[in-house]
C-alpha cells in the first residue's frame, strides 16, 4: 500500500493511525481539495490533509498557495 503525501512534502504525519484512517476516508468521500475563501472574491483550493495536519490562517493563505502551488479561485 502506498502512503499519501502531505502538501508540505512529508508522508502523511497524523498523530495516530485512527486519525489518518478517518481523514483518508473523508478525502475519498469528499475529494482531496477544499475551497478556502479570503473575502468574497479570492480563494484557493487547499488540500484537506494539509488543513487537518497544519491548519490554515487566512493571512497566510496567499503565501502558502504560492509556496505549494495551490490553485487560486475567483
* Rounded Cα distance, 65 and 58, in Å: 11
Residue 12 lies in a domain: no
The number of domains in the chain is 1
Q: Tens digits of per-residue pLDDT, 27-45?
A: 999 999 999 999 888 999 9
- For the whole model, what pTM was predicted? 0.89
What's the pLDDT score for residue 1? 40
Residue 5 lies in a domain: no
Task: Give the gyration radius of the chain's Cα atoms.
Answer: 13
Residue 60 lies in a domain: yes
pLDDT reading at 2 higher than 60: no
Average pLDDT, the chain: 93
Q: Which residues constitute the domain of residue 60?
A: 17-73
* Rounded Cα distance, 62 and 59, in Å: 7
Residue 59 lies in a domain: yes
pLDDT reading at 74 higher than 90: no
Amino acid at each position: 500500500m502506498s502512503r499519501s503525501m502531505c502538501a508540505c512534502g512529508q508522508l502523511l504525519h497524523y498523530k495516530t493511525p485512527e486519525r489518518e484512517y478517518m481523514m483518508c476516508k473523508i478525502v475519498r468521500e469528499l475529494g482531496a481539495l477544499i475551497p478556502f475563501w479570503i473575502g468574497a472574491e479570492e480563494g484557493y483550493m487547499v488540500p484537506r490533509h494539509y488543513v487537518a495536519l497544519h491548519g490554515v490562517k487566512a493571512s497566510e493563505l496567499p503565501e502558502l498557495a504560492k509556496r505549494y502551488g495551490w490553485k487560486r479561485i475567483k
